[in-house]
Structure 1
Amino acid sequence: MNQIDDTSWSRSLRAIFGEGMFAAVGARRRDDWRLDALDVMQLLADDPRGWSKLAVAPGGGDYATGPGNPFSAVTPGDFNAAFPVSRKGAEQIMVTLQGEWFQVEDIPDFDVREAELTSHARVILERFGADALFFTNAVSARKDPHADMFGREGVYEGFTSHVMDCGVIAVSATEVGVFWGFTID
C-alpha cells in the first residue's frame, strides 16, 4: 500500500464524489465503531488529520447537521444493515456511486474510466491501512463479502429516507470513514 497525503486524498475525493454525495472521516474513539460512524454521518466529528470532506447536497449546497442531513434519523441499530465487504468490493462500490442507480451500466464511458475510478477509490481506502474493515449496505455483500460488486444486484438496505442510498464504511483502529451516494428521485 502506498502512503497517501492530503493532496492525493483531495484529488481522489473530487474525482469520485460530487453533488448528492457524502465523504467524511472522523476519529475512532469508541470500541463500538458504529457510534463513531454515526458521528461522522451526522457531521459531528472532525477529520483527525484535518483533510477535506465532501458533503454536497443535491443542487450543490452542503449537507448540514440536523434534519437537513440525510443521516439525521440513523440510529446505531440501523448498522445491522451494514454487511462486511472485502477491500476490492468496497473499492468497486465506491466506483459504482458514480452511476445514477449505483450500477456500472449507469456510469458514462465506464469501460474507458474503470481503471482511473478504481485507482481513486483505492487511494481513498488506503488511508485506513491494511487491517481496515469495510462495510456496505449492498445486499450482495450479506451473501458473499467477496462478491463482484460491479456485477451485483441493485438491492440495498437503505440508511436514509431517499429513494435509494448506497455506500461504504471504512473502519481502522484510529479512524472511521463514510462514503455514500443518494438517489433522490
Structure 2
Amino acid sequence: MTRIDEASWTRSLRALFGEGMFAAVGARRHDDWRRDALDVMRLATAEPRGWPRQVSAPGGAPYAPGPNGPFGAVTPNDFTGVFPVSRRGAEQIVVTLQGEWFQTDEIPDFPAREAELMSHARGVLDRFGEDSLFFTNAVSARNDPHADMFRREGTYEGFTEHVMDCGVIALSATEVGVFWGFTID
C-alpha cells in the first residue's frame, strides 16, 4: 500500500471520475457508518482533509446537496442492498465505473489501459488505510466478496432513481468515501 497525498489523490480522482460521477469523502462521526455515508451522499459534510471531490451530474453541472442530489431518496434501510467486497474487488469496481453499464468491455482501449486505471483506483482507495472495509451494490459480491469484479454479472441493487447505478463505499476508522457512477438512459 502506498502513502497517498493530496496531489496523487487529485490526479487519480480526475483520471477516474468525470461527468455524471460521484466521488466524495466525509468524516466518521457516528457509530453507525451508514449515517456518515448518507451525509457524504447528500454532500452534507465537509471533506475532512480539504481535498477535492468530484460530484458532476450528466451534462457537467455539479450535483446539488441534499434531497436534489442523486442520493436524495436514500435511507438507512437501503444499505441492506450493499455487500462486503475485497479491496481488489473494490478497486475493480471503481475502474468499471468508467464504462457504460459498468463493464470493462465498454471502457475504450481497456486492455492497454487496465494497469493505469487499476493504479489510479488503488491510489484512491489507499487513502482509507490497510484496515479499511469496502461495500458495493454489485450483486456479484453478495455470495463472494472476492469475486472477480471485472467478470461480474451486470446486476446491482439500485440506490438512486437512475436507470442503473453502481459504486463502492470505503470505510476507515476516521473517514467514509462514496465512489459511484450512474447510467441515466
Q: What is the TM-score with the length of structure 1 in the denominator?
A: 0.99
Q: Say which SS state the counterpart of residue 101 (structure 1) adopts.
A: helix
Aligned to 1:85: 85
The corresponding residue for 1:31 is 31
Contact 2:125 2:170 in 1 (8 A): yes
Distance in 2 separating the partners of 1:14 and 1:65:
21
Residues 1:11 and 2:34 are matched in the alignment: no
Q: Per-residue CA shift, 1:151-173, capped at 9, x if unaligned? A: 00000000000000000000000
What letter matches 2:126 in structure 1?
Answer: E
Contact preservation (8 Å) 2:94, 2:121? yes
> What SS is found at the alignment partner of 2:29?
coil
Q: What are the within-5 Å matches in structure 2 for residues 140-179 of structure 1?
A: 140-179=140-179
Map of 2:97 onto structure 1: 97
What stretches of structure 1 of length at least 5 have no aligned partner?
none
Partners of 2:40 and 2:67 lie apart in 1 by 15
Aligned equivalents of 1:111, 1:94: Cα separation in 2: 16
Calculate the aligned-residue CA RMSD, in Å.
0.5
Rounded Cα–Cα distance in structure 2 between residues aligned with 1:65 and 1:12: 23
Paired AA for residue 172 in structure 1:
S
* Cα distance in structure 2, aligned partners of 1:37 and 1:67: 14
Q: Which amino acid aligns with 2:59?
A: G
User: Counterparts of 2:95 and 2:102 in 1: how far apart (Å)?
Assistant: 8
Unaligned residue ranges in structure 2 (runs of 5+): none
8 Å CA contact retained: 2:20, 2:58? yes
Query: Is contact 2:42–2:67 with CA below 8 Å preserved after alignment?
Result: no
Q: Report how far residue 68 of structure 1 moved.
A: 2.6
- TM-score, normalised via structure 2 length: 0.99
